[in-house]
Amino acid sequence: MPSAAPRFCECGRYTVPAGQQCPCAKRRKAARGSAWARGYDSDWQAARAAHLATHPACVDCGEPATLVDHIVSIRKAPHLRLDPTNFASMCASCHGRKTTRVDGGFGR
């Protein structure tokens, strides 16, 4: 059985199993502009890819990272959106935990 690594969707939110379409593809087509308008544009995609290339491990658990988290939310610090010092490579499960923690009422 081929074991191609899952790729990460350009939307920055989903890991896509090899050979499959991102679950967000339809939604993105329907609402093009929403995620991108919030700042996840091509500049972010490039910065994110560069960060993952140089910081391939999750900062929390050391597993291979699949996404880049903003240490300080870009809602709170939009000027740090493309600042590498505000980037943290994370795996999906650690990021999920962080998102729950941070967005769960204890903003930082």
Site residues (CB under 5 A) for Zn ion? Answer: 58, 60-61, 63, 91, 94
Smallest CA-to-CA distance from 45 within 14, 82, 79 is with 82
Question: In angstroms, what is the minimal distance from the CB of 41 to Zn ion?
Answer: 26
Compute and round to an integer the Cα radius of gyration of the chain: 14
The amino acid at 74: I
Q: What are residue 15's phi and psi, to 5 degrees?
A: -90, 130
CA distance 93 to 91: 6
Question: In angstroms, what is the minimal distance from the CB of 66 to Zn ion?
Answer: 9
Largest CA distance in the chain: 45
Nearer to Zn ion, 11 or 94 (CB): 94
Nearer to Zn ion, 63 or 83 (CB): 63
Nearer to Zn ion, 28 or 69 (CB): 69
Nearer to Zn ion, 43 or 103 (CB): 103
Question: In angstroms, what is the minimal distance from the CB of 106 to Zn ion?
Answer: 20
The amino acid at 71: I
Question: In angstroms, what is the minimal distance from the CB of 105 to Zn ion?
Answer: 22
